[in-house]
Amino acid sequence: MRLWGGRFSEQPDVAASKFHSSIGFDIRLYRHDIAGSVAHAQMLGARGIIPSADAEAIAEALEGILRDIESGALAGPAAPDGAEGIHSFEDIHSFVEAELVSRIGDAGRRLHTGRSRNDQVALDMRMYVMEEIDAVRALLMELLETLARIAEEHAGTIMPGYTHMQKAQPVTLGHHMLAYFEMFKRDYQRLGGCRERTDEMPLGSGALASTPYPIDREFVKEKLRFSKITANSIDAVSDRDFCVEYVSCLSIAMMHLSRFCEELVLWSAEEFGFAVISDAYATGSSIMPQKKNPDTLELVRGKTGRVYGSLMGLLAMMKGLPLAYNKDMQEDKEAVFDASDTAKACLSVFVGTLGGVTFNKGAMRAGALGGYANATDAADWLVRRGVPFRDAHRIVGGLVLRAAGKRVPLEALPLEDMKAASGVFDETVYEAITVEACVDVRGAPGGPGSGAVREAIANAKLWMRQAREAQETKDGRS
């Protein structure tokens, strides 16, 4: 069935019809489409635009259609030739309307009064994106809780920190986990902002120029639990910023996941030995019996590029479109659907993977002892005794060179070697450059010192509790 055709004298080309069709993927919008149609019909009846009896019949029939789709009664076969069942329709909108008319006759033909598929699909997509944002944020909260738990368990687990993939300074695993906590916290907040901007009800915008009927957009807004209505009918039907922004938020979150996966892959390698991936989230080799591969992490890392591709596709699709609606915009759905499905799957499996990781405290501490990661602290020891930092930097650099030549750690150099470099040195320097001292001396807020980490964990728990309460309050209002 087509929702148009009166001015056409030829039948549509079969191949062109298949090319136009979106029912194969926009079928997943059936709940949103039906909910929007019910609210629209109720508004039309309340405003006297259509008879109230027709509005009631439409709403009742639409609810029946929803039940039948969800029970499978209307799940037509996925016919490759597009000739059977649901898949013979152009899109979810034409399918629902055709089914409605088949059930209640002419009353069903009144449903589309005062609206267009342009504002209808904008409504469906906004409802879908808000729903998906809620699902992704719930997964992010699970990840944040896991990170906070690991950080608390390993607040004192010393490990090497890196820059340029070279050992830099000692930190703790708890501090390292809290770095990722901040990343995913921003993702949670960023998606919240995206949801607020998506939360605008576009129905009533028509094809682009609104409608001459005395509609009540506020009525529909309240029925569908939107916070506000769109301000401009042209923008409302041609805007896909919310889709681009949503997939952009997902891309940033996937980037964070990918970075984390890369570290866990490295840490689980024998050369590092910092982490052991649970067997439940690893795979083996078909030829090498000894192998235990971190495939889950690698696949998340790989799927990041897939989400990026969806974002690039959306941006490229939108970049040259004049106002208002253009058929190009049908391409928004598969990109958004795939990016959302991919991100949710990755977050879900990553939470499980991370929760099952065993961290090797001994290997981490041993790693922190190498690479002269305490050199900065030796320089700081001199600074606290009046030596200008640049001079201290040069002095300790020379000591590192000497220690490297002897193939010993900095703390193994005899005191006479230290004094030869600077007479300021005394035996208390050795206590100051232990890995424990190097970490604990950095007690400034945001640092790896034990007190700072405990405070950061407390703040993280407080933020999560407040975020959950805010979401519960919002859910209660809706």
Beta strands, E only, 191-252: 200-201, 228-229
148 upstream amide cis, omega within 30 of 0: no
Token pair, residue 273, equals 């030995």
DSSP letter for each residue of 452-473:
HHHHHHHHHHHHHHHHHHHHHH
For residue 167, count other CB atoms closer than 10 A to its CB: 17
For residue 6, count other CB atoms closer than 10 A to its CB: 5
Query: 284: Cβ–Cβ under 8 A, 6 or more apart, which residues?
Result: 291, 292, 293
Report how far residue 195's alpha carbon sits from residue 129's, in angstroms, rounded to the nearest whole number.
Answer: 8
Report how far residue 72's alpha carbon sits from residue 454's, in angstroms, rounded to the nearest whole number.
Answer: 53
Report how far residue 261's alpha carbon sits from residue 298's, in angstroms, rounded to the nearest whole number.
Answer: 7
Q: Is 453 exposed, middle or buried (0-12, 13-18, 19+ CB in 10 A)?
A: buried
Our measurement of the distance from residue 453's CA atom to the centroid of its chain's CA atoms, rounded to an integer in Å, reads 26
For residue 431, count other CB atoms closer than 10 A to its CB: 11
**Integer angstrom CA distances of residue 259 from 122, 151, 170, 448:** 34, 18, 20, 20
For residue 298, count other CB atoms closer than 10 A to its CB: 15
Q: Are strands 358-359 and 275-276 parallel, antiparallel or unpaired?
A: antiparallel
> Which residues are catalytic, by number?
164, 285
Report how far residue 401's alpha carbon sits from residue 424's, in angstroms, rounded to the nearest whole number.
Answer: 19
Phi, psi of 52 (to 5 degrees): -60, -35
Token pair, residue 453, equals 């980490």
Report how far residue 97's alpha carbon sits from residue 105's, in angstroms, rounded to the nearest whole number.
Answer: 11
The residues with which 283 forms a beta bridge, in sequence order, are: 293
Report how far residue 126's alpha carbon sits from residue 101's, in angstroms, rounded to the nearest whole number.
Answer: 26
Report how far residue 97's alpha carbon sits from residue 301's, in angstroms, rounded to the nearest whole number.
Answer: 42
Of 136, 340, 309, residue with least CA distance to 243: 340
Token pair, residue 8, equals 């056409």
Report how far residue 25's alpha carbon sits from residue 331's, in angstroms, rounded to the nearest whole number.
Answer: 10
Report how far residue 414's alpha carbon sits from residue 426's, in angstroms, rounded to the nearest whole number.
Answer: 11
